[in-house]
Structure 1
């Protein structure tokens, strides 16, 4: 893979699935679009359930970034999500690379792909597709909002294309996302700087607290993380549950995208992102000098 970083953008990762990465990515993407900033969403890998009815007019391998691209106002292209696993719930999934079906692969956990489990030829095809996608995005010159897949730090280094390989190659500031309502998320979030190690920590710019429902829980989360995190809080995002069936209606999707943008548009976070001024900090893991 090329070592050339992308010129502008941000990478969003979380310690586990269900943290709300997509919701935050959609909100940031739409908030930037409001400022007339051209945005390209990017997920190196995604896992799509074939029974998911959302975005049904799209090809099955385009569903992983349907909402991300919808918020950006761009069509889904293969380079927005070059590697997609379509699962039917039997523990194995059909792999699509650049929109081409290449056979079945296992899925790791809920939403991750483990490159070690792929045959060498498929592993090479995935790496090459991501390399080409990043080159296309660099040439387009847009602001790239990269979303990780599943949980960062759950696979060995270099086995996780979405959360390890791509962030290091893209070279963009990394923002961590933790959900204040899910048991264990904050502990896992606090441990990420130590788990991921250098040079990953050099890219970390801060973290977002997602799913905020009440001030007491938020205050408790902030107190815990202030003692544990070597990077600052950038935003606290309110909890929001979209209406049932919204994915079947383009108009309803637009309402959700706007709501997401309202929720992420904290002055500190959006000022940093829109001015491309998110500066990674050189930090050390707990216990390191």
Structure 2
């Protein structure tokens, strides 16, 4: 049976995913057969992966963090990596995905009444399969490991620590303040058997002289008996984010480098109320000279050089919100390159039929933005599949050639009303400067990314800067943080 370490947190967004991914790559670099795991996740950023266990499905969904961590571990992810995924839909309701398959839409209370036992059994079965096939399992917790109201049904933290017999690496974020109080409070409030499993603490997002923390570290270690095994500096390696908490405030910009302003372009992204799979934009934000600006629906596109309309968990409601704010007029008037992904593709079309499926009452037809001559019809069937296509670019992706890979997670079928180019597979469409596709992960393909960035620079009339295509990956950057600033041997002494 594998050795398991659970990367748990004192709160949400403290850096668990980064530490877990860095640990996966660090161990893989040492020749360790390692795999990620998260018993229960809540995220609208999902990836299609191979289905595992007793199922008739070929593909299923997992949260993006475990997909990324599997890449870091240099292993092929399956639905065992994240057997339970909750995808928020608004109004306190989530879609429940168990072993990669959507099984219902319920509010939180009903989830625990209806699905809890099934979810726990699925999580433990998935863990057992992974532990039998690998030497180390790096499990990731969720939120805080010490929530008294949740400890009897905390699948990602408490239950995982118990059925995996895991050592716990506790992560605390010092940037927010109160990190040392959070550490002590977490160890005090956690169930006794869980607190006893904590092998070490990692403090993340530290700026300044490490020695300044020594008095506080000494006191915490004396009070708790738990060593602080790492202080990680504030250095974002650029891993895809799991939820929108990590996004900048409205109007904020992601993507920083030393490129002079006259060689930069801005990709405007409408911040849809039910935004999902925004990690599709991460590869663009890592391109030198490209800034990704998440714009409130009240904003203008005057300063944007290109636009990506992202996925959404509820296309129709977000289309109506976009129209109410007047952003549909901004999209209609924008003359630069535009790409719509999944729900963003659907709302760029002429109309959407069967809209009642998405909870919009008696509405049967909703008019779209009208930038693409396509029509989408919703149904209850959901497509989840990884895909690879041989393509030829068109529209704002005119430079694409060869094959592209990604995944589809969507409901609804989209058909062209007039002849269109098909730049990214049979369900895509492109006319002039606008393209739409169901391909998530499209900008991870260098050809697609480069074609779109080139189109943005051409539209802006600016020259692209030179850059190093062999720069280290986000996985390597995360591994360097773990290697240089965390005493891994204190938590995994026998590797």
TM-score tier, shorter chain, comes to 0.7 to 0.9
What is the aligned partner in structure 2 of residue 282 from structure 1?
A: none
What is the aligned partner in structure 1 of residue 220 from structure 2?
A: 225
What is the aligned partner in structure 1 of residue 183 from structure 2?
A: 189
Deviation string 1:155-205 (CA, Å, 9 cap, x unpaired) is 332211111111012112111111111133432221122211322222111
Please say if 1:213 is aligned against 2:207.
yes
What is the aligned partner in structure 2 of residue 249 from structure 1?
A: 444
Q: How does 1:45-60 map to 2 (within 5 A)?
A: 45-49=40-44, 52=45, 60=61
Please say if 1:172 is aligned against 2:162.
no
Q: How does 1:1-289 map to 2 (within 5 A)?
A: 6-49=1-44, 52=45, 60-106=61-107, 117-154=110-147, 155-215=149-209, 218-219=213-214, 221-222=216-217, 225-242=220-237, 244=255, 245-247=281-283, 248-249=443-444, 255-266=473-484, 269-273=487-491, 275-276=493-494
- Name the SS of the counterpart of 1:41 in structure 2: strand
Does structure 2 conserve the Cα–Cα contact (< 8 Å) formed by 1:45 and 1:83?
Answer: yes
What is the aligned partner in structure 2 of residue 283 from structure 1?
A: none
**Aligned mates of 1:252, 1:94 — CA distance in 2:** 39
Deviation string 1:226-285 (CA, Å, 9 cap, x unpaired) is 4533200111111112453544437899611111111111486233455437xxxxxxxx
**Cα shift at 1:96:** 0.1
Query: How many residues in Structure 1 have an aligned counterpart in Structure 2?
Result: 261
State which drifts further: 213-222 or 13-22: 213-222
Does structure 1 conserve the Cα–Cα contact (< 8 Å) formed by 2:142 and 2:156?
Answer: yes
**Cα shift at 1:75:** 2.3
**Aligned mates of 2:492, 2:145 — CA distance in 1:** 25
**Aligned mates of 1:88, 1:235 — CA distance in 2:** 37
- Name the SS of the counterpart of 2:24 in structure 1: helix
Unaligned runs of 5+ in 1: 1-5, 108-115, 278-289
Higher relative helix content: 1
Distance verdict in 2 for CA 1:7–1:73, change over 3 Å: closer
**Aligned mates of 1:133, 1:231 — CA distance in 2:** 30
Does structure 1 conserve the Cα–Cα contact (< 8 Å) formed by 2:41 and 2:85?
Answer: yes
**Cα shift at 1:28:** 0.7
**Cα shift at 1:128:** 1.3
**Aligned mates of 1:152, 1:192 — CA distance in 2:** 7
Distance verdict in 2 for CA 1:37–1:83, change over 3 Å: same
Does structure 2 conserve the Cα–Cα contact (< 8 Å) formed by 1:48 and 1:85?
Answer: yes
Deviation string 1:29-69 (CA, Å, 9 cap, x unpaired) is 110010011111000011112xx5x8689965342412111
Distance verdict in 2 for CA 1:167–1:56, change over 3 Å: closer
Decide which structure has the larger Cα Rg and report it. 2
**Aligned mates of 2:61, 2:217 — CA distance in 1:** 40
Distance verdict in 2 for CA 1:255–1:141, change over 3 Å: closer
**Cα shift at 1:140:** 0.7
- Root mean square deviation of aligned Cα: 2.8
Per the normalisation by structure 2, the TM-score is 0.48
Higher relative strand content: 2
**Aligned mates of 1:157, 1:47 — CA distance in 2:** 17
State which drifts further: 31-40 or 152-161: 152-161
